Amino acid sequence: MANVTIIYGSSTGATENIARKLAEAFDGSSVMDAAQLNEAAVASFKDADLVLFGGSTWGYGDLQDDWHAKMGLFEGADFAGVKVGVFGTGDQESYPDTFVDTIGILAEAAEKAGATIVGKTSQDGYTFDESRAARDGELLGLAIDEENQGDMTDDRVAAWVSQLSSEI
């Protein structure tokens, strides 16, 4: 069984709920609130087969608060050889110019620290104008929209889990 570490930042529970679904799917994984991240936890990513970062987007394309306070931990961290997948929740109808930007912000930070991003997904099925999570016609991770497409969440999570399982 793969050693999967899941870290999420969530203000109203939506991203936490996705983190729990992912933890259930990756039996034996560990789940941590981003508020608890510290240098030791970041150093332990090296031992994981897969690290999943999750966060919602607030304000206008801003990181969820708990992540905001922890981004300094990425600076100088060595993620070489670490596979990272990113997931996030957002609202494509109300925020079509900043839809799930946090996915992009977290993926960029992990890449900068040397991580390999896995679990990129198709933009099919979403309607938005701009997103920091979009690159080369793909999304840099799993985008969940509970406000407008909550009925698709479980299928999207399941598809992502099987994709990730084949990428690690």
Ligand X SMILES: Cc1cc2nc3c(=O)[nH]c(=O)nc-3n(C[C@H](O)[C@H](O)[C@H](O)COP(=O)(O)O)c2cc1C
Binding residues for ligand X (CB under 6 A): 10-15, 56-61, 64, 89-91, 95, 98-101, 146-147
Nearer to ligand X, 12 or 44 (CB): 12
Task: Supply the minimum distance, in Å, between the C-beta of residue 150 and ligand X.
Answer: 10
- What's the CA gap between 82 and 147, in Å, rounded? 32
Task: Supply the minimum distance, in Å, between the C-beta of residue 34 and ligand X.
Answer: 11
Nearer to ligand X, 74 or 101 (CB): 101
Query: Are the beta carbons of 77 and 53 closer than 8 angstroms?
Result: no
Give the list of residues 6+ apart from residue 45 with CB closer than 8 angstroms, or none.
5, 51, 77, 79, 82
Q: Which single residue brings its beta carbon nearest to ligand X?
A: 90
Nearer to ligand X, 119 or 145 (CB): 145
Query: Are the beta carbons of 88 and 142 closer than 8 angstroms?
Result: yes
